[in-house]
């Protein structure tokens, strides 16, 4: 149906399973108003835990709970470059040792602390030949001083973030001030919803902002108060009764935190990923093997099918 055909009055014939609405307005026999189809931004988030399976959520930007930051983990120096921000210096502790083969670059021991500044290029002497290398300019934190350090961007190490910020954030502030993915924990639950399913999670990784299609529906007896029903993730059957002729005035839209299945999570990631440009490749080790792209070598490469968009059932 198109938006020109809304709003309509419908009777619920078959209710959806796992309904997360705060009230039972989608029970069989209930008369509802379907106002329109709309787009809404949500934050895709996953539970932080060492064992699987993880729980996955779609969090509305109107969520009123407050978060405190949790340390992020970075497997390479290149990840530090991506995660740094202008808001504050990125402070990390090394969890894996690295021995630099070049005198111009720094070696790293477990427990070393660094403040990450910016990426740059520098010359190194490799087997008597000067080569230009991409590096990460940092400050190594010593007991009573700081020392300049250059880490190669190709460095395969391990770092954990040190959090000094004790402020509590709303989700809209986190998305505006920091680059996703970002680790948080609910410190104050959303008092405007009866059951906040995020409050019991040990931690959350806010992964990305996505846009989904929803239907705005309400109880026929109270057409002003609406809820968002996700198109494509809710299976239900309704029978159209007639067009809605009333005037609900300004709609009051209530949103809920939606817990999604693992299958739905990967479907969303695949669908969103098909619209994004691939991330930049991390720098290669200067002594890495050279690959010649000849017609013969290209023919031997496996072809990769682009992800298909999921079918949307309206």
pLDDT digits (tens, 9 = 90+) for 125-162: 888 889 999 999 999 999 899 999 999 998 887 999 99
Q: Are residue 194 and residue 258 in the same domain, yes or no? A: yes
Count of structural domains, the chain: 2
Closest of 172, 168, 175, 173 to residue 66, by C-alpha: 168
Residue 55 vs residues 70, 88, 101, 215, 233: alpha-carbon distances, Å: 18, 31, 42, 25, 16
Instruction: Single out the residue in 100, 130, 161 at which a domain terminates.
Output: 161
| Residue 100 and residue 147 in one domain | yes
Mark whether 78 and 129 lie in a shared domain. Answer: yes
At residue 208, the pLDDT reads 93
Give yes or no: residues 263 and 187 share one domain: yes
The reply to whether omega before 53 is within 30° of 0 (cis) is yes
Q: What per-residue confidence (pLDDT) applies to 161?
A: 96
Residue 230: inside a domain, yes or no?
no
Asked whether residue 273 falls in the same domain as residue 206, the answer is: yes
- Residue 297 belongs to a domain: no
Q: Do 54 and 183 sit in the same domain of this protein?
A: yes
* DSSP strand pairing (129-141 vs 146-152): antiparallel
Residue 219 forms part of a structural domain: no
Is residue 63 within 8 A of residue 257, CB to CB? The reply is: yes
| DSSP SS3 for 270 | helix
77 in any annotated domain: yes
The answer as to whether 184 is a domain residue is yes
Which residue do the tokens 């705005």 mark?
216
- Residues 131 and 79 both lie in one domain: yes
Which are the contacts of 268, defined by CB distance < 8 A and separation ≥ 6? 44, 210, 260
**Per the domain annotation, does 302 fall within a domain?**
no
What six digits make up the tokens of 194?
A: 């009866």
- Tens-place pLDDT, residues 279-295: 555 565 654 433 333 33
Question: Rounded to whole angstroms, how far apart are CA atoms 241 and 226?
Answer: 19
Name the residue among 258, 263, 288, 186 with its Cα closest to residue 22.
258
Are both 190 and 266 inside the same structural domain?
yes
Tokens 């609405």 correspond to 21
The reply to whether 188 and 151 lie within a common domain is no
Residues 52 and 201 in one domain: yes
* pLDDT mean over 57-77: 94
80/143 same-domain check: yes
Give the global pTM. Answer: 0.77
How many whole angstroms separate alpha carbon 256 and alpha carbon 61?
10
- Domain hosting residue 123, numbered range: 73-161
Same domain, residue pair 84 and 127? yes
């Amino acid at each position: 149906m198109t938006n020109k055909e809304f709003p309509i009055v419908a009777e619920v014939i078959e209710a959806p399973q796992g309904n997360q609405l705060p009230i039972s307005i989608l029970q069989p026999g209930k008369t509802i108003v379907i106002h329109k189809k709309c787009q809404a931004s949500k934050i895709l988030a996953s539970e932080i835990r060492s064992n699987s399976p993880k729980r996955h959520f779609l969090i509305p930007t109107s969520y009123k709970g407050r978060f405190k930051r949790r340390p992020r983990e970075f497997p390479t120096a290149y990840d530090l470059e991506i995660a740094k921000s202008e808001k504050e210096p990125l402070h990390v502790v090394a969890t894996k040792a690295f021995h630099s083969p070049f005198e111009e670059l720094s070696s790293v021991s477990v427990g070393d602390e660094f403040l990450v500044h910016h990426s740059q290029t520098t010359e190194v002497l490799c087997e008597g030949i000067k080569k230009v290398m991409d590096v990460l300019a940092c400050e190594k934190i010593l007991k009573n001083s700081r020392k300049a350090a250059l880490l190669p961007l190709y460095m395969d190490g391990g770092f954990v973030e040190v959090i000094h910020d004790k402020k509590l954030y709303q989700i809209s502030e986190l998305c505006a001030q920091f680059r996703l993915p970002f680790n948080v924990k609910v410190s104050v639950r959303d008092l405007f919803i009866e059951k906040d399913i995020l409050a019991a999670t040990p931690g959350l990784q806010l992964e990305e902002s996505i846009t989904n299609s929803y239907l705005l529906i309400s109880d026929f007896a109270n057409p002003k108060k609406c809820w968002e029903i996700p198109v494509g993730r809710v299976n239900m059957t309704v029978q159209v009764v007639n067009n809605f002729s009333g005037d609900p005035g300004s709609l009051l839209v209530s949103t809920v935190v939606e817990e999604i299945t693992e299958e739905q999570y990967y479907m969303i990631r695949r669908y969103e990923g098909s619209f994004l440009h691939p991330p930049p490749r991390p720098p290669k080790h200067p002594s890495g093997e050279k690959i010649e792209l000849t017609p013969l070598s290209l023919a031997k490469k496996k072809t990769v099918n682009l992800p298909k968009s999921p079918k949307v059932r309206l």
